[in-house]
Amino acid sequence: MKTPLLLLLIICFKSHVFSQNKTDSLYSNAITEFYGKAYQHLYTQEDSAYYYFNKINSMAIKHGDFESLISSISASNKTAGHFYNLERMKTNLERLDSIVLKNDSELKKTENYLIYINSIWLDKGLYYFRLNDYDKSRKAFQAIITSIETLDSRKLNIYLIDLLTSAYSFIAKMYVNDGKYNLAKDYYTKNIHFLESNKADDIVKINRTYSLLAEVLKNQKQLDSSNSYFNKSLKYNLVNNGSSSSIVTEANHLLENYLNQSQIDSANYYLNIIKKNLPDKHPRWNVYFEAKAKIHIATGAYEMAEEELQIALDLIKQKWKNQPHNDVAEAYNNIGLLHAKFKNPTKALENYNLALQQFSEINNSSTINQTVVLKILKNKALALNSLKLYSENLLTIDQALETLDQLKPTFKSNTDKLFLMEEAFPVFESGLEAVYNLYQETKQDSLLDKAFYYSEKSKSVLLLEAILSTKATKFANIPKNIIEKEQLLKSKINHLEKQINHTKNQALEDRLFDVKNNYRELITTIENRYKTYYDLKYNSKVINIKELQTLLNTKDALLSYFYGNHHIYTITITKNSKHITRCKLNNDLENNIVSLYKLLNNPKSNLEELNSKSFYLYTKLVAPNIDNLSHKNLIIVTDGLLNYIPFSSFSTNGRAKYVIENHAISYVNSATLFKQLSEKEGINNKVLAFAPSFDASINGNLMPLPNNQTEAEDILNYFNGKTLTNTQATLQNFNTESEHYGLLHFATHAILNDETPEYSYLAFQPNNTNSNLLYVSDLYNLNLNTNLVTLSACESGIGNLKRGEGFLSLARGFYFSGASSISSTLWKINDGSTLKIMDAFYKNLSEGNSKSLALQQAQVSFLNENSQNALVHPYYWSGFIISGNTSAIATTNNWLWYVAIGVVLLLIIGLLVKKNQKSS
């Protein structure tokens, strides 16, 4: 089957030969005959194909026919690429550059100029792609996009369309290999839209792009959708004699998907398809043996799997002529994983080291190489721990984290960065395991510092980066017009994403793709041009214990949790002490955490059962860390499922005696974030409170909140400011007024979107459109400077839980917008208890108490008042939490106190005057 890109070169060649050489029919006939013979051997007999291309080249040079020469060399690159003959490709590309340079002015006059030039860029992109030099490869494919995208649609022929769509696909494929699946999906979707609009009859190319998109879905664990796209494309290729490479690729992906779904019979079916579609001497026979090994692994046939993987390794080495390559590294890594799975860590370690040796001999440090290195180091760390080689493992962990730090700035999509951290998570746990075991042996103090370092590196990467980015923008002297352009593009992206979220629209999706591309290009330009900005934004340094202790006062204890796959680690730090504990993680413990959360957010749950489970978890996870402490303020760096549990609700005796009665509790995503937030100051201590009204008959699922207006108005008993209720509690008023207030209070509904956290929202005064909703995505574009944001709304503190980042919640969104502390809720709270607790909270706050102490006093007061009734249930009071910088609000604006003091002073003065008058 002729590939479209090769076909266009043949057509260009023929049209040129017959138009320019009508008087030289001998030359025309001969060169056409050689082209036909070369084509017959193109993908089957490498040397024969080169033989006929060389004949064409010699004749073209003799006749001064540079167009035929370019077509011939470009076509021979298809053979070189198919047989992985990179030396030949390099020679060809150097030759093509020389021909183009020499004949540039004449070449520009030809009708096929854009096809020739962009075909050369395509070959360059493929050459560097094969070398894993993705920076140079992207530049080549981007040159094609820049050249063709701007053309008038009337000049866009099918050959230029093929070149453009190939460029889109290769850029997307590189993003897939880098683990940047969100970006890859954007490019594949753009490509599908472009093809369907400009070349809808090219079923092969459309199916192929859907197949590439299926690979992204596979990596994102969306296996059913992935299988659907792969199967559609594979069936078409089998019926229509598609390329063997496409069939093998798709069948192999399907085999892996079905193995992941434990469908071994289906996997064997696709293994047979792979075998039937691989001609002798095809360079991808290794795929068959690797696939066969995977089936043996699934059936527990260890030795047979090892044999197949060894054959695959030999074939890969042969393909790359025994030169270092990351394909060879991947093959060694696969053998290592096999040995690890079947409990042979020594052999696993041996193969991981062989894999890493490949990179010591590769010059470039492209993201694909770094991604593979990180994966192998992660596996090596697990093997070293299995062998109890803990000291050696610390070097491996440090190398892995250094690689991770180099990779993070290249990930521009937050979704992709979250996935990267998820994949790297075992590195942090391996590090903690090694340090913990070494500490148990040696009690060496510095090992606690190392444990804290590993734990901190795993936490809150996106939020820290956002806060550092804001700082970097201020300190890097970036021109105002560039900052405004960046803000405008972010706003456009948010606006388009919200539109698409409500109504799928191809034109909007294409527009979003272009705006995102412009935004990424602008950020890359800023990062390259302003070194200070880059250094501040991607500062990977985390706070150490010594620095942290300078921020803690004598009453503070910080408990930093790391929730791993096998253990929960807790590092407890006070002004003058530090220690580490470990709790084995098992199904019983996890089930208790999940069960406790269900009991906590149900006011009708059995209190005795709740306290029993709560006490069990307290003895496992809290008591070992605070039993010997007299510190009253607990700062919790929570992790994993522990994010769901308010520590205030832990029973200390199995009955209605709770942690909150002895400790003020606050939360923060990481100690490094704690430091950053501690440095922030609000603009003032004026409060702006919102209390919209709701009517279920009009607003659907938004029920009336009987006490929310009273709650908001009562705050003005303690702080200066403004309360906006009913028709004044609008989103428009929030957007225009919020930046002028240091305290924001929202007594309203919060709606959680667990699947798409960016579209969780706060509801303002309803209107006829959705313009009354403040989405999390909107918060990313705000620039507030608030001391405290109180989200007195249901489930404002929970959301999609991501490892290291915590909840992707409304509360977290306000940190992105510039808040330094946030009061939020962990479940659907009771309106009545909210009124009482919030009133007491602001009263305590106005008296100069820290935010955590103000909330503790409010909750304890509520408990004491209701100790003999149903409201003692933790549902009613423990769902409120405070996080971030919880220091006291420095200057109270309690105007009632000022008025009272003023009245007293006037009375005293009046009495003194009256007394003086009597005396006189």
Convert the pLDDT of each residue in 563-618 to its tens digit: 999 999 999 999 999 999 999 999 999 999 999 999 999 999 999 999 999 999 99
> Considering only 245-254, 408-417, 891-900, which range has the smallest mean pLDDT?
891-900
More confident residue, 155 or 341: 341
At 44 the pLDDT is 85
Instruction: Give the integer Cα–Cα distance in Å for 920 and 908.
Output: 18
User: What does the pLDDT look like over 811-824, one tens digit per residue?
Assistant: 989 998 999 999 99
Helices (H) and strands (E) in the chain, counts: 39, 16
DSSP string computed for 67-121: HHHHHHHHHHHHHHHHTT-HHHHHHHHHHHHHHHHHTHHHHTTSTTHHHHHHHHH
> Considering only 22-36, 177-191, 628-642, which range has the smallest mean pLDDT?
22-36
Q: Is the pLDDT of residue 891 over 70?
A: no
Q: What are phi and psi of 346, to 5 degrees?
A: -65, -50
Instruction: Give the integer Cα–Cα distance in Å for 623 and 801.
Output: 25
The identity of residue 537, as a single letter, is K
Please calculate the CA angle 626-628-629 and round it to the nearest 5 degrees. 60
Are 782 and 818 in contact, with CB atoms under 8 Å apart? yes
DSSP at 875: G
Of the pLDDT bands very low, low, confident and very high (cuts 50, 70, 90), residue 173 is very high
Q: Is the pLDDT of residue 5 over 50?
A: no
CA-based torsion, 903, 904, 905, 910: positive or negative: positive
> Considering only 50-59, 379-388, 870-879, which range has the smallest mean pLDDT?
50-59
Q: Is the pLDDT of residue 113 over 60?
A: yes
> Considering only 9-18, 87-96, 486-495, 727-736, which range has the smallest mean pLDDT?
9-18
Mean pLDDT along residues 340-361:
94
DSSP string computed for 666-701: EE-S-HHHHHHHHT---S-S-EEEEE----HHHHTT
At 13 the pLDDT is 52
Instruction: Give the integer Cα–Cα distance in Å for 690 and 712.
Output: 7
Q: Is the pLDDT of residue 680 over 90?
A: no
Helix, strand, coil in percent for the chain, rounding step 5: 65, 10, 25
DSSP string computed for 99-113: HHHHTHHHHTTSTTH
Of the pLDDT bands very low, low, confident and very high (cuts 50, 70, 90), residue 367 is confident
3-state SS class at 200: coil
* CA proximity to 427, closest of 462, 391, 461, 380: 380
Q: Is the pLDDT of residue 477 over 60?
A: yes
At 25 the pLDDT is 74
> Considering only 224-233, 353-362, 585-594, 741-750, which range has the smallest mean pLDDT?
353-362
More confident residue, 748 or 43: 748
Are 400 and 378 in contact, with CB atoms under 8 Å apart? yes
Instruction: Give the integer Cα–Cα distance in Å for 378 and 401.
Output: 10
At 4 the pLDDT is 47
The per-residue pLDDT of the chain, averaged, comes to: 90
Of the pLDDT bands very low, low, confident and very high (cuts 50, 70, 90), residue 548 is very high
DSSP at 660: G
Are 107 and 100 in contact, with CB atoms under 8 Å apart? yes
Q: Which residues of 820-854 are buried (b: 16+ CB within 10 A; e: fewer)?
A: bbbbbbbbbbbbebbbbbbbbbbbbbbeebbbbbb
Of the pLDDT bands very low, low, confident and very high (cuts 50, 70, 90), residue 697 is low
Q: Is the pLDDT of residue 431 over 60?
A: yes
Of the pLDDT bands very low, low, confident and very high (cuts 50, 70, 90), residue 18 is very low
* CA proximity to 727, closest of 754, 776, 692, 759: 692
At 804 the pLDDT is 83
Of the pLDDT bands very low, low, confident and very high (cuts 50, 70, 90), residue 176 is very high
Instruction: Give the integer Cα–Cα distance in Å for 581 and 651.
Output: 20
Instruction: Give the integer Cα–Cα distance in Å for 824 and 827.
Output: 9
> Considering only 7-11, 462-466, 839-843, 907-911, which range has the smallest mean pLDDT?
7-11
More confident residue, 419 or 456: 456
DSSP at 204: H
DSSP string computed for 640-658: GGGGGS-GGG-BSSSSS-B
CATH class of the domain defined by 676-897: alpha beta
* CA proximity to 887, closest of 859, 917, 845, 920: 845
Q: Give percent of the chain above pLDDT 70.
A: 93
Of the pLDDT bands very low, low, confident and very high (cuts 50, 70, 90), residue 769 is low
Mean pLDDT along residues 438-456:
97
Mean pLDDT along residues 134-154:
91
CATH class of the domain defined by 545-675: alpha beta
Are 455 and 432 in contact, with CB atoms under 8 Å apart? yes
At 21 the pLDDT is 47
Q: Is the pLDDT of residue 132 over 90?
A: no
Mean pLDDT along residues 625-643:
93
At 890 the pLDDT is 59
List C-alpha distances in Å: 211 to 162, 192, 231, 339, 391: 17, 11, 8, 32, 45
Q: Domain residue spans in the chain?
A: 305-386, 388-467, 468-537, 545-675, 676-897
Instruction: Give the integer Cα–Cα distance in Å for 117 and 99.
Output: 11
Q: Is the pLDDT of residue 227 over 60?
A: yes
Of the pLDDT bands very low, low, confident and very high (cuts 50, 70, 90), residue 898 is low
Q: E strand or H helix at 907, and its extent? A: helix 895-919
Q: Is the pLDDT of residue 673 over 60?
A: yes
Mean pLDDT along residues 298-324:
96
Q: What are phi and psi of 304, to 5 degrees?
A: -65, -40
More confident residue, 141 or 699: 141
At 651 the pLDDT is 97
Of the pLDDT bands very low, low, confident and very high (cuts 50, 70, 90), residue 2 is very low
Assigned token pair, 455: 């734990």
Mean pLDDT along residues 106-126:
91
Are 459 and 401 in contact, with CB atoms under 8 Å apart? no
Q: Give percent of the chain above pLDDT 90.
A: 61
Are 305 and 293 in contact, with CB atoms under 8 Å apart? yes
